[in-house]
Chain A
Amino acid sequence: MSDIQFIKRKNISFAISALLIIVSLYSFITKGLNYGIDFTGGTLLHYQFENEFENEKINEVLEKSGIDGSIQRVTDGKNEIIITTTFLDTERKKEFRDILRREVGNLTEDGIKRETDIGPTVGRELKENATKAVLWSIIAILIYISARFDFKFAAAAIIALIHDSIITIGIFSILAKEINNTMIAALLTLLGYSLNDTIVVCDRIRENTKKFKNSDFDEMVNTSINQSLSRTIHTSLTTLIPVLTLFFFGGEILRNFALALLIGVLVGTYSSIFIASPIITIWNKGKVR
């Protein structure tokens, strides 16, 4: 068994986290988030042309048609492009497609890979639902952990969760990656994952509390972390392996999803050891043992 002083050096990890959170919040406030059309409403067109073309050409067409939009080249596709615009109705979409055919190149029926229109009201609702989902999960988990463990564990787990969400969203803000519906799913999953990690450590602490009644609490928490450390590393790795394959081989649509999970697994593993456990010890000090 390893013997690393996690608790004694908690100031280092707290400083690192504080820095990460400040950077995340700063980016969140100044840069904001790059919401996808799922949340803002709009139109997404994913086309594959039969011939090569310059991105400039598409931008020209957009400008000429007076459509406000942005483009993203599909890196692992051939002549594929994703155009995101404000909400276009069927007629305007058809018109735009015709202009593209004239100006850019041949676009067959098969080349029309994906077209998505989301009305603004639907977008707003999706956003509300996503927020509700995150909040309700936190509440439900708080209740479950309080019932199964102790409130101090629940509080520590939730603080770790909030820590993870802020940093993950912050990184997405810094990288200007798109936040869409699937991203919320990824965020919730990594909350579940991070929690999973925290619980494994908490479970050890709970067990050891019964076993070593007279030992120092901090010492005991530190032992617990060390005892579950190899498990934490193994599980993080076995989860990271498929997430990485998903990132590299899963295709354009799932890449952001995999990225969120990747960040989430790393941050989640880190937080359960370096944030959640020390918080339990701090919380515990405030009380009579």
Chain B
Amino acid sequence: MKQNIRFYLIIILVIVGFAIYTLYPLSEKINLGLDLKGGLDLVFEVDSEKLVDDTIDMKASKIKEILSTHGVVDYSVTTDLKNNTLSVSVFDTLEKEKLEEIEALVIQDDILYKDKGNIKEGLLMKVRENKIREGNADSLNQALIVLRNRIDMFGVTEPTITISGKTRINVQLPGKNSQELAEDIGSTAVLEFKLLREENGSVESVSEKTKLGNPGSDYKVFAGQLNEITGRTPFYMVERITQMKGDSLADARIGYDEFGKPYVSIAFKDSGAKKFAQITQNNIGRRLAIILDDRVMSAPVIQDVIPNGQAMISGSFSEQEARKLSMILKSGALPVPLKRVSEISVGPSLGKESITKGVYAAGIGALLVLIYMIFMYRLCGFIADFSLIMNVILLLAGMALLKATLTLPGIAGIILTIGMSVDANVIIFERIKEELRVGKTVGAAIEGGFDKAFSTILDSNVTTIITAIILYNFGTGAVKGFAVTLMLGTAINIFTAVFAVRTIFSVVTSAFNIKKLSI
């Protein structure tokens, strides 16, 4: 028995020693949540509405291409973004077989399906929205990579970027961050090149917008960039068909024109360069709109063929904006449009205040509990206090080892653990008192007290752990942090109460050969 006690004591000392070693130095080892160290927490969600709209537009362009490659001249392809439908009609007089062949080609699609009608009188097609959503998982992973690249380029240190659920990405940026950063990181950055309508392709301000007339099914109106000097926003009438997308960029960098005005120069990869050369060759004299995320950046006139795949995006932006744009373009477009669904920004001063207040409250709370226990249980109170302190040290060490994040509710969890952890001791002590009252010797009373208290301690703590696990699974952010401290704290509590406290009892009683227990 003596041998055993010595062995147990060594185990306890080793564990506590290791815990203290793990925690040194404390400020580096405990991972603080954004609510404590300040920072920006963003949740992006796939903008499924926009995704569906974009897909339908893309499909419309594709169908038009099919029709024109098969020699159809007079046709209409219209989209209805409210009902997510698309209708196709061919007005050319063609043989029945030819029409059927074209119809078959149009219908052959993974996302669209035929609803009713035929291509001669009007073919109505609907969208399989679930198909679009199925692709989300892959796109979300790609989007995460793009976001990470952008964040790295903006020079944010230690970001945390994780996919949550099926359609969301959670980005956590510690430290002081401007909210504009949030916008830049999440911009879809889809770069498109579309031709302006040859006649009456643009107006200078919103008041003239009506002059552009009805876009019909072949054109679409886009807003341009606000002109800082005139204070007006131009509007453009642009072809629906996208000539080219900016997803094959080899490079994007900032440059300065002869007046020292910044612009962004982009270079296409080989295949893109060839396509760009062709587009410029076929459309000399026309205006090509460079559109970023549905906003026309500029619409220069194509002067000549551009064979080397070099293009320039000039607009009214500052040097800083041009630099940002070049970085966003270089990191690539997001495969799916994202929208911000939640944003939490905590200033560093609030975080510091919260820590100070939390630690202060914990300190006072712990001190009062320590005093209470000594007052109520005398010598045994000291043992309970020792186990309480051990509990907190082990809890912090456990958090450091698991790299768990300490949040403000987490601090509350620790404070609560302080109160609840003495519960096990109270249960044991009350039992020992009862045993002593029946007239048992000190040794037998301790033995009996622990044995009888064990099942109570186990059951009551296991139920708390069950609640904590469920809380962890359903909770978000800060609440998860609370669940972790509660879970760890309760588990450690069982260990200290049952194992450590018992060992110390044995040491104390055997070392001093106690006849009367101060309890």
> Min CB distance, A53 to chain B, in Å?
19
Report the bound CA distance from A126 to B475 in whole Å. Answer: 8
Please tell me which one of the listed residues B360, B460, B470, B479 contacts residue A249 in the complex, with CB atoms under 8 A apart: B360
One digit per residue, 1 when the CB lies within 8 angstroms of any chain B CB and 0 when it does not, for chain A 241-283 equals 1111110111101100110010000000000000000000000
In the complex formed, the residue of A with least CB distance to B355 is A251
Of A28-36, A57-65, A171-179, A193-201, the stretch lying at the interface with chain B is: A193-201
User: Quick check: is B427 within 8 A (CB to CB) of the other chain?
Assistant: yes
| A243 and B471 contact, Cβ closer than 8 Å, known pairs A200-B460, A250-B358 | no
| A113 and B358 contact, Cβ closer than 8 Å, known pairs A200-B427, A230-B430 | no
In the complex formed, the residue of A with least CB distance to B437 is A1
In the complex, are the beta carbons of B479 and A245 less than 8 A apart? no
One digit per residue, 1 when the CB lies within 8 angstroms of any chain A CB and 0 when it does not, for chain B 452-496 equals 100110011111101110110111111100110010000000000
In the complex, are the beta carbons of B474 and A132 less than 8 A apart? yes
User: Quick check: is A155 within 8 A (CB to CB) of the other chain?
Assistant: no
Q: Is the interface of B mostly helix, strand, loop or mixed?
A: helix
User: Quick check: is B230 within 8 A (CB to CB) of the other chain?
Assistant: no
User: Quick check: is B380 within 8 A (CB to CB) of the other chain?
Assistant: no
User: Quick check: is B362 within 8 A (CB to CB) of the other chain?
Assistant: yes
Please tell me which one of the listed residues B350, B468, B476 contacts residue A113 in the complex, with CB atoms under 8 A apart: B350
Residues of A within 8 A of B349 (CB): 48, 110, 113
In the complex, are the beta carbons of B430 and A196 less than 8 A apart? no
> Min CB distance, B83 to chain A, in Å?
22
Please tell me which one of the listed residues B176, B369, B467, B474 contacts residue A130 in the complex, with CB atoms under 8 A apart: B474
User: Quick check: is B412 within 8 A (CB to CB) of the other chain?
Assistant: yes
> Min CB distance, A162 to chain B, in Å?
15
User: Quick check: is A98 within 8 A (CB to CB) of the other chain?
Assistant: no
In the complex, are the beta carbons of A196 and B426 less than 8 A apart? no
User: Quick check: is B416 within 8 A (CB to CB) of the other chain?
Assistant: yes
Report the bound CA distance from A246 to B413 in whole Å. Answer: 11
In the complex, are the beta carbons of B341 and A119 less than 8 A apart? yes
User: Quick check: is B344 within 8 A (CB to CB) of the other chain?
Assistant: yes
In the complex, are the beta carbons of B476 and A115 less than 8 A apart? no
| A257 and B412 contact, Cβ closer than 8 Å, known pairs A117-B343, A196-B460 | yes
| A199 and B369 contact, Cβ closer than 8 Å, known pairs A140-B470, A242-B418 | no
> Min CB distance, B219 to chain A, in Å?
28
User: Quick check: is B354 within 8 A (CB to CB) of the other chain?
Assistant: yes
| A231 and B426 contact, Cβ closer than 8 Å, known pairs A114-B350, A196-B463, A251-B358 | yes
Report the bound CA distance from A48 to B463 in whole Å. Answer: 42
| A238 and B419 contact, Cβ closer than 8 Å, known pairs A117-B342, A184-B479 | yes
> Min CB distance, A136 to chain B, in Å?
5
In the complex, are the beta carbons of B476 and A238 less than 8 A apart? no
Of A5-13, A19-27, A141-149, A213-221, the stretch lying at the interface with chain B is: A141-149
Residues of B within 8 A of A237 (CB): 372
Number of B residues near A (Cβ < 8 Å) is: 73
| A246 and B365 contact, Cβ closer than 8 Å, known pairs A114-B350, A133-B470, A253-B354 | yes
User: Quick check: is A81 within 8 A (CB to CB) of the other chain?
Assistant: no
In the complex, are the beta carbons of A254 and B408 less than 8 A apart? yes
In the complex, are the beta carbons of B361 and A246 less than 8 A apart? yes
> Min CB distance, A149 to chain B, in Å?
8
| A195 and B364 contact, Cβ closer than 8 Å, known pairs A113-B349, A184-B479, A250-B412 | no
User: Quick check: is B353 within 8 A (CB to CB) of the other chain?
Assistant: yes
Residues of A within 8 A of B462 (CB): 144
> Min CB distance, A241 to chain B, in Å?
5
Report the bound CA distance from A190 to B463 in whole Å. Answer: 12
User: Quick check: is B179 within 8 A (CB to CB) of the other chain?
Assistant: yes
In the complex, are the beta carbons of B346 and A238 less than 8 A apart? no
User: Quick check: is A188 within 8 A (CB to CB) of the other chain?
Assistant: yes
Residues of B within 8 A of A250 (CB): 357-358, 361, 412, 415
Residues of B within 8 A of A242 (CB): 361-362, 365-366, 368-369, 415-416, 418-419
User: Quick check: is B132 within 8 A (CB to CB) of the other chain?
Assistant: no
In the complex, are the beta carbons of A239 and B358 less than 8 A apart? no
In the complex, are the beta carbons of B415 and A203 less than 8 A apart? no
In the complex formed, the residue of B with least CB distance to A43 is B343
Report the bound CA distance from A90 to B177 in whole Å. Answer: 14
> Min CB distance, A254 to chain B, in Å?
6
Residues of B within 8 A of A254 (CB): 357-358, 361, 408-409, 411-412
Residues of A within 8 A of B51 (CB): none
User: Quick check: is A51 within 8 A (CB to CB) of the other chain?
Assistant: no
In the complex, are the beta carbons of B416 and A140 less than 8 A apart? no
In the complex, are the beta carbons of B369 and A241 less than 8 A apart? yes
In the complex, are the beta carbons of B415 and A245 less than 8 A apart? yes
Residues of B within 8 A of A193 (CB): 420, 464
User: Quick check: is A284 within 8 A (CB to CB) of the other chain?
Assistant: no
User: Quick check: is A18 within 8 A (CB to CB) of the other chain?
Assistant: no
User: Quick check: is B182 within 8 A (CB to CB) of the other chain?
Assistant: yes
One digit per residue, 1 when the CB lies within 8 angstroms of any chain B CB and 0 when it does not, for chain A 111-142 equals 11111111101100010011011001100110
Residues of A within 8 A of B45 (CB): 119, 121
Residues of B within 8 A of A195 (CB): 460, 463-464, 467
| A145 and B463 contact, Cβ closer than 8 Å, known pairs A90-B179, A129-B474, A251-B353 | yes
In the complex, are the beta carbons of A192 and B372 less than 8 A apart? no
Report the bound CA distance from A235 to B376 in whole Å. Answer: 12
In the complex, are the beta carbons of B466 and A137 less than 8 A apart? yes
User: Quick check: is A71 within 8 A (CB to CB) of the other chain?
Assistant: no
In the complex formed, the residue of B with least CB distance to A145 is B463
> Min CB distance, B421 to chain A, in Å?
9
| A–B Cβ pairs within 8 angstroms, 18 of them | A133-B470, A140-B470, A141-B466, A141-B467, A144-B463, A182-B412, A188-B467, A191-B467, A192-B463, A192-B486, A193-B464, A203-B455, A231-B426, A238-B369, A238-B372, A238-B373, A238-B423, A241-B372
Given A129-B474, A137-B466; 13 other pairs, CB 8 A cutoff: A112-B347, A113-B349, A113-B350, A140-B466, A181-B479, A185-B482, A192-B468, A196-B420, A196-B461, A241-B368, A242-B361, A251-B353, A253-B408
Residues of A within 8 A of B (CB): 46, 48, 90, 93-94, 109-119, 121-122, 126, 129-130, 132-133, 136-137, 140-141, 144-145, 148, 181-182, 184-185, 188-189, 191-193, 195-196, 199-200, 203-204, 207, 227-228, 230-231, 234-235, 237-246, 248-251, 253-254, 257-258, 261
Closest A-B pairs by Cβ, 8 of them: A242-B365, A239-B419, A133-B474, A119-B341, A251-B357, A245-B365, A113-B350, A192-B467
